[in-house]
Amino acid sequence: MASRTKTIQSEGQSLNGRGEVLLSVRDLTVAFEEKVILDKLDLDIKRGEILGFVGASGSGKSVLLRTILGLIRKRSGTINLFGVDLETASEEERLRIDMRLGVLFQHGALFSALTVLENVQVPMREYLDLPRKLMNELAMLKVELVGLPPDAASKYPSELSGGMIKRAALARALALDPDIVFLDEPTSGLDPIGAAEFDELVAKMRDTMGLTVYMVTHDLDSLFSVCDRVAVLGNKKVLVEGTIADMLKSEEPWVRSYFRGKRARQLDLAARA
């Protein structure tokens, strides 16, 4: 556990383009009939950062993620990705944007009838037209990139551990070399060691590839150990955002109890030790 809480946050801004805003959400309102879930919400994510997105259960984290990904229709506001307003984007622009996004859904794991290699190739088949041999080679590189042994490539999801499934799902999310990956509770269901290893992998990808990560999580360990910035969803908008240090100083009641509750205090002490 102690190694988990040792901070592995970004050490510098050395990679090109760091700081550039890749996703900008402004005045976003999402409602299901009369029920407003998000009300004039603003959010930015910058290149090369890991943004941890937290909020009470049912506060709308998944709705926001699905709206950004174009799976839920917004009522008003703008969502701008890579400088393009999604509402006015042409079909071709939208396709190019989609290819720059990787997604790891919490329950959307892997196709059970496909091997790991075939799962990783799903986005490649959808968006690219590559010869089979090249696709196999590229998918294999992704399998290795996420730290899976080569023999995992020919296995089916039912033959893998929980941690290996998450890695394989990450490999699939990285299939097209995206600029941003959206991870929906990536460490849920993993034991602390598996979760720590997954966090370290994500941090390594930020540091070596400049990957930008939007991580919805309830996992305090992840928030303390890898997130460069945290955004808290509450009252239908981003209530507070900033570093973990900012969260620890916040007097907002939900943020206070979440980040300064007993468990959070123990993690903070361990991280400082």
Ligand X SMILES: Nc1ncnc2c1ncn2[C@@H]1O[C@H](COP(=O)(O)OP(=O)(O)OP(=O)(O)O)[C@@H](O)[C@H]1O
Tell me the C-alpha to C-alpha distance, in Å, between residue 60 and each of 41, 87, 110, 227.
11, 21, 24, 20
Nearest to ligand X of 175, 232 (CB atom): 232
Which span sits near ligand X by CB under 6 A: 44-52, 54-62, 153-161, 169-177?
Answer: 54-62
Q: Is 62 in the site for ligand X (CB under 6 A)?
A: yes
Quick check: 222 binds ligand X (CB under 6 A)? no
266 in Cβ contact with 256 (< 8 Å): no
The reply to whether 55 sits near ligand X by the rule CB under 6 A is yes
Say whether residue 63 binds ligand X (CB under 6 A): yes
* Displacement of CA 24 from its chain's centroid (Å): 15
- Residue 181, both tokens: 């990956």
DSSP 19-66: T-EEEEEEEEEEEETTEEEEEEEEEEEETT-EEEEEE-TTSSHHHHHH
Binding segment for ligand X (CB under 6 A), chosen from 7-15, 61-69, 172-180, 244-252, is 61-69
Q: Is 58 in the site for ligand X (CB under 6 A)?
A: yes
Residue 57 binding ligand X, by CB under 6 A = yes
> Please, are residues 245 and 257 in contact by the beta-carbon 8 Å criterion?
no
Residues 16-45: x where in contact with ligand X by CB under 6 A, - otherwise, as a string: ----------------x----x--------
Is 59 one of the binding residues for ligand X (CB under 6 A)? yes
Decide whether 60 or 186 has the Cβ nearer to ligand X: 60
Q: Are the beta carbons of 103 and 181 closer than 8 angstroms?
A: yes
Positions in the binding site for ligand X (CB under 6 A): 32, 37, 55, 57-63
